[in-house]
């Protein structure tokens, strides 16, 4: 039974990791800021979104959810609350004194259960999010499910390690006629196409990558902007740039030239190299083999 009377009110603190405890403190501040005299699941969700843990950020990107969209939806749901319009609650509310609602407590226990199911001894931010979805009756759950975060999808996306940064080594060929930012775009695009980078993987931050490559940060920023325009990556403010989920940010028709226009320069170059049409078709088939599963 959830939250048995035999348990201490703060029993969960021994089962939450430091990042989860930080989320609770942020959630209390959010509840106080909005004028609530209690901490509900919606405030807990806002606490998760305040400064998302890298693992949580990756999970949200994998689910195709932008932090700003989710925050806007939650705050809209909260704005209709009577307590949110009552200034006396704002004067009385103190973060350290806020009681937890029964639904919040249920979400806590479900988060601990999610951690246990994944073999973890401590619940973290990702487990708190899963607990909110599993709770099933709050406005926080409504906001998450409304953006496509069902428990089945979220648990599937959260299985396994959640890397902070994608393991991709980018190299610059100074002897190439290709512009440096084009080389970055091509290498990241290919890594996504062949599966070396997965949806939700976070790319290196602009300045550290620029330092590693010995180039100007503006060059990396230009490459990332081009990748985002093409729908390959998404940028979530200061939290970083992530590989986009399929269909999360599809490029518009204006950014998507006809295939013939893209391939014609390759055909022209092959012609001048003396390549036959049969050789060119074979080369195209070979190039597609590890990208398109039906290109056998």
- pLDDT > 70? residue 5: no
279 to 212, 227, 270, 294: CA distances (angstroms)? 39, 31, 9, 20
Give residue 34's pLDDT. 83
- pLDDT > 80? residue 38: yes
**CB atoms inside a 10 Å sphere around CB 210:** 17
- pLDDT > 80? residue 200: no
Q: Give the DSSP H/E element, type plus range, for residue 290.
A: none
Q: What is the secondary structure of 32-59 as a DSSP string?
A: HHTT-SSB-HHHHHHHHHHS--HHHHHH
CA distance 107 to 25: 16
Interacting residues of 265 by C-beta distance below 8 A, sequence separation 6+: none
Q: How confident is the model at residue 6 (pLDDT cuts 50, 70, 90)?
A: very low
Interacting residues of 96 by C-beta distance below 8 A, sequence separation 6+: 28
Average pLDDT over residues 224-238: 83
CA distance 232 to 165: 16
Give residue 216's pLDDT. 92
Give residue 177's pLDDT. 87
Read off the pLDDT of residues 68-96 as tens digits, 9 standing for 90 and up.
888 888 888 887 654 444 444 444 555 56
Please give the CATH topology (third level) of the domain spanning 11-158: Double Clp-N motif (1.10.1780)
Q: What is the secondary structure of 73-131 as a DSSP string?
A: HHHHHHHT-TGGG-HHHHHH--GGGPPBPHHHHHHHHHHHHHHHHTT-SSB-HHHHHHH
Q: What is the pTM of this model?
A: 0.52
Q: Which two tokens stand for residue 94?
A: 């103190």
**CATH for 180-252, among 1.10.10.10, 3.40.50.2000, 3.30.460.20, 1.10.10.1150?**
1.10.10.10
Q: Which two tokens stand for residue 104?
A: 């919040």
- pLDDT > 90? residue 247: no
| % the chain with pLDDT above 90 | 8
Task: Return the domain boundaries, the chain.
Answer: 11-158, 180-252, 259-288
**Maximum CA pair distance of the chain?**
82
Q: Give the DSSP H/E element, type plus range, for residue 154.
A: helix 151-158
Q: What is the dihedral of CA 180, 186, 188, 193, to 10 degrees?
A: 180
Q: Give the DSSP H/E element, type plus range, for residue 159.
A: none
Average pLDDT over residues 209-222: 90
Q: What's the first-to-final CA gap in the chain, in angstroms?
A: 54
Read off the pLDDT of residues 138-162 as tens digits, 9 standing for 90 and up.
888 888 888 887 888 887 777 644 4
- Mean of the per-residue pLDDT values for the chain? 78
């Amino acid at each position: 039974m959830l939250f048995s009377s035999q348990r201490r009110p703060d029993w969960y603190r021994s089962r939450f990791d430091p990042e989860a405890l930080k989320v609770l403190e942020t959630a209390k501040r959010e509840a106080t800021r909005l004028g609530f005299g209690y901490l509900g699941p919606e405030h807990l969700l806002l606490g998760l979104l305040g400064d998302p843990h890298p693992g949580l950020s990756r999970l949200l990107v994998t689910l195709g959810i932008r932090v700003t969209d989710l925050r806007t939806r939650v705050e809209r749901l909260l704005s209709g609350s009577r307590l949110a319009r009552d200034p006396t609650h704002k004067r009385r509310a103190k973060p350290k004194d806020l009681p937890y609602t029964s639904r919040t407590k249920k979400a806590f226990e479900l988060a601990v259960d999610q951690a246990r199911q994944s073999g973890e001894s401590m619940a973290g931010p990702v487990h708190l999010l899963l607990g909110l979805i599993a709770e099933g009756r709050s406005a926080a759950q409504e906001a998450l499910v409304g953006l496509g975060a069902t428990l089945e999808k979220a648990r599937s996306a959260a299985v396994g390690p959640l890397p902070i940064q994608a393991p991709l080594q980018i190299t610059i060929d100074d002897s190439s006629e290709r512009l440096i930012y084009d080389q970055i775009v091509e290498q990241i695009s290919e890594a996504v196409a062949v599966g070396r980078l997965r949806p939700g993987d976070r790319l290196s931050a602009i300045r550290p990558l620029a330092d590693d490559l010995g180039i100007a940060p503006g060059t990396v920023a230009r490459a990332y902007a081009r990748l985002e325009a093409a729908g390959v990556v998404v940028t979530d403010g200061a939290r970083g740039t992530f590989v986009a989920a399929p269909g999360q940010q599809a490029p518009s028709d204006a950014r998507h030239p006809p295939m013939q226009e893209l391939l014609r320069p390759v055909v022209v170059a092959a012609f001048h190299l003396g390549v036959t049409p049969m050789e060119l078709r074979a080369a195209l088939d070979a190039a597609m083999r590890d990208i398109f599963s039906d290109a056998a």
